[in-house]
Chain A
Amino acid sequence: MRTLIRNGRVVDPSQGLDGFVDLLLEDGEVAVIGERLEAPQQTEVVDATGLVVAPGFIDIHVHLREPGQEYKETVRTGTMAAAAGGFTAVCCMANTVPVNDHRSITEHIRGEAERHGFARVYPIGAVSKGLDGKQMAEIGEMAAAGAVAISDDGKPVMDAELMRRAMLYAQHYGLPVVQHAEDLSLSGGGVMHEGLTSARLGLPGIPGSAEDVMVARDLILLEDTGGRYHVAHISTARSLALVRAAKQRGLPATCEVTPHHLLLTDEEVAATGFSTACKMKPPLRSAADREAMLAGLADGTVDAIASDHAPHHPDEKDESFHNAPNGIVGLETTVPLCLDRLVRPGIISLSRLVELLACGPARVMNLPTGTLRVGSPADVTLLSLEERFRVEPTSFRSKGRSTPFGGLELQGRAAGTFLDGRRVALEEGRRPG
């Protein structure tokens, strides 16, 4: 099985490449990169004229909801959304029902992905059994079954001793510890960022310090333990400054930021009249925080853009702002939003975006993908920088519909993905091969 992708602009920061070259994919690997390649016999030729060819994008923060909450999302619908949005791989969080805290759940998720997946699925195992923050989960067993990281995401690891031990223990398996950084005693019953808008609306606030205190604590622990630490959905200027300083000291800390924290602020809650599409954790932050996130993209502090795709049933989001569950979908909007709102205005270059969506995520999660180097897995994302479209939540592949970006007119989107060298066919409703 061979595929030749021709005439595209190949952007692969992992090898400092940005130019018009062809790409031959063979037996699931990148076989040759070069100018004007001839197609060997029995090769599918893809004309990528006018398109960007990038290493397959990886969303390292996704909730697939399976097992247990298939009414919200399944491995099938979630990876379909991923493929439609331009991702060839996702890392899925452990807060399923039951929790992905032991090998059989990890294997189940991997099995579903093998059977129904439209993208690679890398499960993230729980730090603690049942996400209860007390007893360590069987991290080694989950790693053996394919878990690429550990996290209690959805909940923070509040107990400092558990965090310290997890950072130590995870090193046996080379896994990063991913923290949902939120000190629950500070966030309390808050439902939005604590600031000017929460004061106006009378909604209980979540102070930025709830995140900062946790990141600061974890970085201190990291300094003692070694190991690798990753801050999920970082959202405050101060947390980001802490990570920046830690990196400068040489600590193995990384972080990701979501498109909504890059593009929206807490004012959106007021502007939309309490729309539950603006309710998530961490909450949409202040304008100064947003500015800091953008600066972090540009100066390299941020390692990855991740969607925190957190689908809920539409009925669940059709509630009071207070009672609605946290989370919005993002797999199908992340790439277009980044192209239209970050690359087009020149906040970051296209090459930097590819770094944030492919190379960086692969580095954080120790994945073999995120590059088009010869010999790498042949996962490719095609982008059209010109196509204009309107975000229509009703046509999402995801079962989730809640997004603050519905109705936006955007320019630029994914034009297809290749997995193991084969084009992912969404139209036929089945995975390739």
Chain B
Amino acid sequence: MTKMHLTVGPFLVSILFGIAFTCSGATSGSADKSGLEALLVKPFVRAEFVKQRKLAILTKPFVTQGYILFDRDKGMVWKTTAPVNDTLLITETSIRQFDGEKQTVVSDRNPVMTSISDMFLTIMSLDKDKILSVYELQSSGSDKQMYRLLPRDKRMQSIISYIQLVGADRIQSIEIMEKSGDSTRIEITNERYERAQLTADDRALLEKL
């Protein structure tokens, strides 16, 4: 005899988050892709970030600093150094917290977290075709250094209003505007493009992916 079980937790959290389960194909028009191409031409392997998380409920933005390590084939290490010390290992299949010794799965079946991590990995990949398959490009005013991406997937549409990339020949910032009015702004600086530029610690971290 068998008994069926629900993977309840993640689905309940999704409901908390107000996610719809239906998916649909999305269609939209096109925009200035050539500028976007220039923006996406150089994927970095390491970059520092300052992230501002603005929630309507917070009295002030929650600001964190750290750095990102990126491997196109494996995924991303998100290392926060201030005000908390946190290391996240983000791949297509899992999100794990790493404390220097052991890895704890944060949630590998939470559809919301999975969607958001996919979003980051897609953006960070700087793969234009991949990005445009997931997002519709919408020009933002006359400033060609600002590119607004709208999610095609209905599930993401219920969370994200748009993702705004700013920069000319490199991504300077990423802003994620949520439907709830909350937002995240990530300033990218100090990029490095060659693996040889990574420290031994950085390489060791990438190996954990």
Q: Is B one of A's binding partners?
A: no
Which residues of A pack against B, CB within 8 Å? Answer: none
